[in-house]
Structure formats: structure tokens, C-alpha cells
């Protein structure tokens, strides 16, 4: 049962209140694949890069069992490039530069072997491409996860809604959930979004954690307070990668297991933000990962004691 | 072992995107006492009102076992009055009117019976008054909880720090924790605030829940997503009341029991916001309360599965 992951591979230049880096490796598909590769070893990547993208980076993913047959390298062109600057609170950022480069012509053709993948991870991309990927699948997947953002709601809502109608899990942030549903209350937003298609809605709230909505049930995954957030870039993609890696590994897409998957996602995101680029995600040991899973457990666990009421209404 | 609770009793006029009310019952001490009274019946209140404050409200609290000996009623004067308007996101608000009225002359003298209280809840007030209350105690309490806000950090930081040095639990929001500590990271803010005195720091994050810091340990209490937040006024005070009511009832101020206390606080706050004023907090049944505690448990509980890593770094 393969994971198919599609999205950008890119160069990022990032400025935060705590430092800056120029043209480091980034991209949704890169973060998703690295995060998932700790938990699953049958991952098929579909992306596009220019001649400037380091061959070492491609080999590093191959060595982690990621099938790169679906990676297109375009001679004479440059890779997607994004530059951004984070505000003091690290929750908001300004985009300084977006150079689409090869991404402008991205029209992915899935390798034959990828068409019957069981777990589909649609990284944030133009909804047209996401739709094209779904149309190339040869069998019904076990789970389709869609990541998107407000930009596509502003500029391609009709197509985006066609994609949303066909996925099982939608991951967006709280403001995007409100925009998509027209509801301020997240409970009502979730009801509205379930009706659009996805049985699961994951609302990512950055340092405040993540909410999982399913059929009237809610799970709240905490954000792990880390001493220093160095760079939030890629946190959402690392979250998605950890989640789908865990789900593919366990083969169980029940609500109960989805909750644990969200914790795996939160775990990968908590490491991602501790360094620029993939610097932390490249070098995680099993001990570190298990220790952090236990931290999430400690963070969330309490004794329930139902006391009798002393004054009734 | 009494709870001593000190703070305002007031009239509020509140405007939200979903409605407005004029001169309804409010005040920190009112919310704290109502919330605590479900779990504990030895509560001593210290506050001040004018001749306009309804005698019915005083009697209602008395009937719930709240000792009102410490309530001063000033003839010929009006009660504290606050009017505010909430923004569309319900997380921010503008103060429209603040009339101190009787509060300007509040110089509380603790009734003899209140001076050896075991649990002290200092509601948000000028730090001078909070300090005066601590100086009137005749024996060392089991636990002192302090609620305060950025206004006092801006205008009375020196006195506030003297109060903070003498309390066990400080409850503030995330921006206030950053302002007080000068640290952006909440983990580092907590370390700095522990050094100022409080062994426990509770960071209230509204709809995003609450964080409890203690001696390098962290607990994250989720915010319960409710379908409709009608009025956030008093949520923080209801939280404090639920927390201290539970702690006094169980008599256990360990970290482990403090976590459950935070859930009790979150439970009371989640009811508070569902109606204007005390409209919801007045009429809770044991069944509703226990059902909501179970909702918090479901919201937080997941299965921990530690999988072996398939690709090591």
C-alpha cells in the first residue's frame, strides 16, 4: 500500500526575528516525504524541480525509500523559489518573493506504479493540479488527504470545492475553515465542511495545536511548547507527513487511530520548527521520537474525578 | 478550610456580534463564587457594591453557601460599572466605559473568620488591594491564586511584583506572560515567572485552552469548541472559580491534581461563554457538569502507540 505524495520541492529564503537563511531546501513535498519516511517506506513522490535543485537532496530521499520516479527535472529552468519574513509573534508572515519557475508548467503525469496508491497526500498546490492527480488514479484509495490554503479559496474556489468533494481529510487553519464555511464557530464550520465531502477536518492552529472533527466528535491535539521556535516553515507539511506516514503504517483510518495520527503529525511538526529548513527533520533518532511522543502524552493526560455537586441549581 | 475570594461585583453592559445586554450582573468575584459554589460550600466573599446592587443577587449567593460577611454595601453610591464591545473574533474587546464608583474607595478589611482561610483567590484588582489582603491573613494558606492583567503591569508593576512574589499560582494570558517575563517563548516565560515566586503558572488562551507550567513540567488543557460563544465575559473568572473550588474540595495541590483542577476550571468557563452574564452558570445540573467533564476527557484522550522507526537518521 503506497503513499503517493504530490507537492512542491523548492528553495526558501527565510527571515525570522531570530535569524535568516538564503536559498535553503524547502517545499511541501520535501517536508511531507521526510516526515513520513520515519514511519513508512513505500512512498511515491510526484514533484518538479529545475536544474538548480541539488542531486544530493534527491538521493537523500531515495536512500530513505522514497520512490523518485515521479520527480521531473527541467533542464534550463530554475526550481520554485519562495522568500518570506516572519513577524515577531512567529504566527504570521509576509511573502517577499514568489518565483514559480518550473512550477508554472507543472502538469504531473503519475507513474504507472503510483496510480493505485492507497494513501494520497495532496500537498498545497493549485486545485487544478490536485484534481488532475485524482483523475489519474486507477483504483479507489483508502484515504485522500488534502492540504490547501486561503490563496486558492480567494482565486480558485470552484475548482477547490471539486477537489474537496473527493477527499477524506482536509487540513486547513482556523481562519481558512471560517472562510471556506462562512461560519465563525469552528463546530459549525466543521459541520458545513463535512457536508462538502471530507469525513475528517483537521484544523491546524500552529502553537495552539490542532483540532480533529469527525461526525460530531472532536479531538484536540495540544501544541508542544518548545523553548525556541526557530522557523515555522514546513510545520504544516511535516504535520501532514507524520500523520499520513503513521496512517499508512497502521493501515487503520478509524477516528480513534486518526487521533494518534494527529499526535504523530504534531510530533514531526514540533521537531520541524526547532531548526531552519530540514535541519532537524533529517537527523531524528527513534529515541528522540519516542521521547517526544511521551511528552505529548504527558501534556494531555489528566485524572478524571467526577465529584458530586454541593449546590444544585 | 475556607476559600477566601476577593474581587469586584459589578454591572456590565456587553455588546457582541451576536447581541447585547445592558447593566447585567458581572464582576470577577461574582463569577468566581458562582463557579466555585458547585464544588465547595465554605466560601468567604470580600467585595464592595453600591446601593444599586440587587439584594436578590446577594441572597442567591448566600443560598449557595457563600458567606457574605465581607461584602460592603455603600449607601448613596453606585456599583462598579463596565461596558465593552467584542470584536468579530470574540477574542478581543474594546472597553467603552469604566465607572469605578464604589471601587475607588475599596479598602477591604477581612472579617475575622476569613483571616485563616486555606485557599485564597485574589481576583483581578489593583495590586495594592491584593497586597493588603495578603497582609491581613493570620495564618499561612495552603494555596494563594492570583489573577491579574496587563493594565496592572503597565501601571503598577512594582506592587504587582510584590504580590506575585507571595502567591503559589498566577493566572494570566499568553501576551501578559510575555510582557511580565520579557520572554517570547512561553517555556522561557514560565521559567522566569517561577523565579518571581509562583510555583504554578496558568496561561489562559481563551478558545485555545490553557497551559499549566510547574517545575519544568507542562500540561495543556484543551479549549472545548462550543457551537456558539455568546459572551466571553467572566470566562477567566469562572475558570479560576472552578479550579479553586475543586482544589479546596480535594485538598490536594499536587501537580497531578492541579491538572484536573484546570479541567474543572475549563469546564466552568465553557458553560460561562454559552450565555450572557451568569445566565448559564446559575442553572447547571450535576448531569450537565459530569457530561462536560467527560467531553473534556474525550477531547484529550488518545492511544499512544510507539512504532519502530523504518528509516533511521
Nearest to A116 by CA among A40, A7, A4, A253: A4
Residue A62 CB neighbour total at 10 angstroms: 13
According to DSSP, the residues that pair with A43 across neighbouring strands are A3, A66
Q: CB-based contact (8 Å) between B127 and chain A?
A: no
User: pLDDT value at position B312?
Assistant: 66
8 Å CB contact between A58 and A20:
no
A301: chain B residues, CB-CB within 8 Å: 259, 300
CB pairs under 8 A between A and B: 170
8 Å CB contact between A175 and A186:
no
Q: CB-based contact (8 Å) between A229 and chain B?
A: yes
Cell readout for A140 is: 479507489
Average pLDDT over residues A253-267: 98
User: pLDDT value at position A202?
Assistant: 98
Predicted confidence (pLDDT) per residue in A273-308, tens digit = 999 999 999 999 999 999 999 999 999 999 989 999
- Kindly write down the DSSP assignment for every residue of B44-58, as one continuous string: EEEEEEETTS-HHHH
Does residue A206 sit in helix, strand or coil? helix
Question: Nearest CA to CA, how far is B100 from chain A (Å)?
Answer: 31
Percent of chain A with pLDDT over 70: 99
Residue A205 binned pLDDT confidence (cut-offs 50, 70, 90)? very high
User: pLDDT value at position A304?
Assistant: 87
Answer left, alpha or beta for residue A216, where phi above 0 means left and psi between -120 and 50 means alpha: left
The C-alpha atoms of residue A48 and residue A198 are separated, in whole angstroms, by: 28
**pLDDT beneath 70: ranges in chain B:** 312-313
User: pLDDT value at position A313?
Assistant: 59
Q: CB-based contact (8 Å) between A212 and chain B?
A: no
Q: CB-based contact (8 Å) between A225 and chain B?
A: yes
Cell readout for B231 is: 459572551
pLDDT at A63 over 70: yes
Mean pLDDT lowest among A17-21, A176-180, A291-295:
A17-21
Q: CB-based contact (8 Å) between B256 and chain A?
A: yes
Q: At what angle do helices B255-272 and B28-37 cross, to 10 degrees?
A: 110
8 Å CB contact between A238 and A278:
no
To test the contact with chain A by mutation, choose from B178, B225, B275 the residue with the greatest count of A C-beta atoms within 10 A, namely: B225
Nearest CA in chain B to A64: B311
8 Å CB contact between B184 and B175:
no
ipTM of the complex: 0.92
Q: CB-based contact (8 Å) between B178 and chain A?
A: no
Q: CB-based contact (8 Å) between A215 and chain B?
A: no
Length of chain B measured in residues: 313
User: pLDDT value at position B89?
Assistant: 80
Return mean pLDDT, chain A.
96
Q: CB-based contact (8 Å) between A24 and chain B?
A: no
Instruction: Decide the pairing of beta strands B200-204 and B210-214.
Output: antiparallel
Q: What angle do CA B78, B272, B57 make, to 5 degrees?
A: 35
Residues 6 or more apart whose Cβ sits within 8 Å of residue A170: A145, A146, A148, A164, A193, A197, A198, A200, A201, A202
Cell readout for A267 is: 510530533
| Biggest CA-to-CA distance, chain B | 77
User: Within its chain, how far is the Cα of B49 from the centroid?
Assistant: 20
8 Å CB contact between A116 and A145:
no
- Binary contact (B209, A186; C-beta < 8 A): no
User: pLDDT value at position B14?
Assistant: 97
* The CATH number of domain A3-300, selected from 3.40.50.720, 3.40.1280.10, 3.40.50.10420, 3.40.1190.20: 3.40.1190.20
Domain spans of chain B, in order of start = 3-300
pLDDT at A65 over 70: yes
Residues 6 or more apart whose Cβ sits within 8 Å of residue A8: A26, A27, A28, A29, A30, A47, A80, A103, A123, A124, A125
User: pLDDT value at position A192?
Assistant: 98
Q: CB-based contact (8 Å) between A246 and chain B?
A: yes
Contacts 24+ apart (CB under 8 A), B164-168: B164/B193, B164/B196, B164/B197, B164/B198, B165/B196, B165/B197, B166/B134, B166/B197, B167/B122, B167/B197, B167/B198, B168/B143, B168/B144, B168/B198, B168/B199, B168/B200, B168/B253
Q: CB-based contact (8 Å) between B216 and chain A?
A: no
The C-alpha atoms of residue B263 and residue A248 are separated, in whole angstroms, by: 34
B226: chain A residues, CB-CB within 8 Å: 185, 187
Helices (H), chain B: 28-37, 55-63, 127-135, 150-155, 157-164, 174-181, 186-196, 235-250, 255-272, 286-300
User: pLDDT value at position A89?
Assistant: 80
8 Å CB contact between B235 and B268:
no
C-alpha separations of A176 from A98, A183, B118 in Å? 21, 10, 47
Residue A312 binned pLDDT confidence (cut-offs 50, 70, 90)? low
A42: chain B residues, CB-CB within 8 Å: none
Nearest to B40 among A222, A299, A310 (CB): A310
A192: chain B residues, CB-CB within 8 Å: none
Nearest to A309 among B186, B286, B298 (CB): B286
Amino acid at each position: 500500500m503506497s503513499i503517493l505524495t504530490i507537492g512542491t520541492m523548492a528553495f526558501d529564503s527565510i527571515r525570522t526575528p531570530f535569524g535568516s537563511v538564503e536559498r535553503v531546501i524547502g517545499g511541501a513535498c520535501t517536508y511531507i516525504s521526510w516526515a513520513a519516511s520515519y514511519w513508512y517506506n513505500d512512498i511515491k513522490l510526484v514533484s518538479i524541480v529545475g536544474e538548480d535543485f541539488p542531486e544530493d537532496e534527491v538521493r537523500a530521499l531515495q536512500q530513505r525509500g522514497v520512490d523518485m520516479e515521479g520527480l521531473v527535472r527541467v533542464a534550463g529552468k530554475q526550481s520554485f523559489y519562495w522568500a518570506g519574513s516572519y513577524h515577531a509573534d512567529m504566527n504570521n508572515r509576509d511573502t517577499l518573493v514568489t518565483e514559480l519557475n518550473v512550477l508554472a508548467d507543472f502538469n504531473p503525469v503519475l507513474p504507472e506504479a503510483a496510480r493505485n496508491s492507497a494513501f494520497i497526500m495532496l500537498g498545497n498546490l493549485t486545485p487544478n493540479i490536485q484534481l488532475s492527480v485524482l483523475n489519474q488514479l486507477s483504483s479507489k484509495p483508502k484515504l485522500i488527504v488534502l492540504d490547501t490554503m486561503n490563496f486558492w479559496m480567494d482565486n480558485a474556489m470552484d475548482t477547490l470545492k471539486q477537489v474537496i468533494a473527493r477527499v477524506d481529510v482536509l487540513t486547513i487553519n482556523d481562519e481558512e475553515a471560517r472562510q471556506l464555511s462562512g461560519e465563525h464557530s469552528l463546530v459549525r464550520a466543521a459541520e458545513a465542511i463535512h457536508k462538502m465531502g471530507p469525513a475528517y477536518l483537521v484544523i491546524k492552529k500552529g502553537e495552539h495545536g490542532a483540532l480533529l472533527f469527525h461526525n460530531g466528535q472532536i479531538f484536540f491535539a495540544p501544541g508542544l511548547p518548545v523553548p525556541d521556535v526557530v522557523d515555522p516553515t514546513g510545520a504544516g507539511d511535516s504535520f501532514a507527513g507524520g500523520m499520513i506516514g503513521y496512517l499508512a503504517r497502521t493501515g487503520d483510518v478509524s477516528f480513534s487511530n486518526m487521533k494518534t495520527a494527529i499526535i504523530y503529525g504534531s510530533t514531526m511538526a514540533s521537531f520541524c520548527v526547532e531548526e531552519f529548513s530540514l535541519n532537524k527533520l533529517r537527523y531524528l533518532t527513534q529515541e528522540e521520537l519516542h521521547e517526544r511522543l511521551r511528552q505529548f502524552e504527558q501534556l494531555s493526560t489528566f485524572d478524571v474525578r467526577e465529584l458530586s455537586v454541593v449546590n444544585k441549581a
